[in-house]
Structure 1
Amino acid sequence: MKKTVLVFGLLILALLLMFQFSKYAVISGDLKVELIVASIAIVFFFIGVYINKKTLQKPNTPIEEISHKRIKELDISNREYEVLQKIAEGLSNKEIAQSLFLSESTIKTHVSNLLVKLDAKRRTQAVKKAKSFQIL
């Protein structure tokens, strides 16, 4: 956050300095207004390109492997694991049932089993625990 504030502060300072320089240049008659505006545009173009490159860089976070051993230890079936993935996507029981071609009551049963196996009280807590166990 401090770095962002510093960068934008420096950009504002650069803008103010350029306006002061352009004001002096126009008053003294050394430069034409078009050249001043063009130079300001070019400087801010390169600043924009630099900021864009910095903000679009993705941090190199290691991709964690799914622990299939842990899934077996928790005795989670393949269908329950599919339901857990759909819960992690934020789908409701009805949406999960439609996407997996099952009845809503079957999904409720799988969700209940998952909550017991993951020792969770809510769906969000189950997803959080599943991520901590590295099974999602």
Structure 2
Amino acid sequence: MWKHALLYGALLALGTLALQGLDYQRLARSHAGEVYDLLLAAGFLALGLWLGARLLGRRAAPGPEFDGNPRARAALGISPREMTVLAEIAAGHSNKEIAARLHVSPNTVKTHVARLFGKLGARRRTEALRRARELGLVP
């Protein structure tokens, strides 16, 4: 049933497109100068926007690379996998999303999160993120 509806919709769209094309041709013939001016102005607008973005675009000043404070990581005993989970939490992902992204089970993510909470002295994600940012573990 939906295939027929899709086919009819496509046919109607093609018919409408053909009629609009005919109307456009009539309009272009009767107002050729205005259409030419419009296309020329659009071209210059696009060129100006592109040049402006290229020449005046802001570039971030090269700064020191974010290293994740290896001393604090070592002092707290945070493993590389726990750091990955912490970065995913900082990105705003849920446990299920983190599990899918890291190809592990949600229970494994819960274990990593619980260990992170213990190591950071937090009871909630927001507390853990605040503490991790204070320590320079996440940007």
Bucket of the pairwise TM-score, normalised by the shorter protein: 0.5 to 0.7
Change (3 A) 1:64 1:106: closer
**For the aligned residues, what is the CA RMSD?**
3.6
1:114-125 alignment to 2 at 5 Å?
A: 114-125=116-127
* Residue aligning to 2:128: 126
For these two proteins, the number of residue pairs brought into alignment is 105
Q: Distance in 2 between matches of 1:102 and 1:123?
A: 20
Instruction: Report the TM-score, using the length of structure 1 for normalisation.
Output: 0.55
Give the Cα–Cα distance (whole angstroms) in 2 for the partners of residues 84 and 135 of structure 1: 9
Q: Give the match for residue 108 of structure 2.
A: 106
Letter in 1 for 2:95: N
Q: Secondary structure in 2 aligned to 1:80?
A: helix
Matched to 1:81, the amino acid is M
Name which of 72, 75, 79 aligns with 1:73: 75
Tell me the alpha carbon deviations over residues 112-131 of structure 1, each in whole angstroms, 9 at most, x when there is no partner.
11011011121122112111
Deviation readout 1:16-54 (Å, 9 max, x if unpaired): xxxxxxxxxxxxxxxxxxxxxxxxxxxxxxxxxxxx9xx
Please, which runs of 5 or more residues in structure 2 have no aligned partner?
Answer: 1-52
Q: Which residue of 2 aligns with 1:22?
A: none
Deviation at residue 135 of structure 1 after TM alignment: 1.3
Q: Deviation of residue 64 (structure 1)? A: 4.6
Q: Tell me how far apart the structure 1 counterparts of residues 124 and 61 of structure 2 sit (CA, whole Å).
A: 32
Sequence identity of aligned pairs in percent? 39
1:22-41 aligned at under 5 Å gives the runs none
Shift of residue 66 of structure 1?
2.2
State the one-letter code of the partner of 2:122.
A
Residues of 2 paired with 1:75 and 1:126: CA distance? 15
Q: Structure 1 segments of 4 or more deviating over 6 A?
A: none
TM-score by length of 2: 0.53
Where do 5+ consecutive residues of structure 1 fail to align? 1-51
Does 1:91 find its partner at 2:93?
A: yes
1:77 is displaced (CA, Å) by 1.0
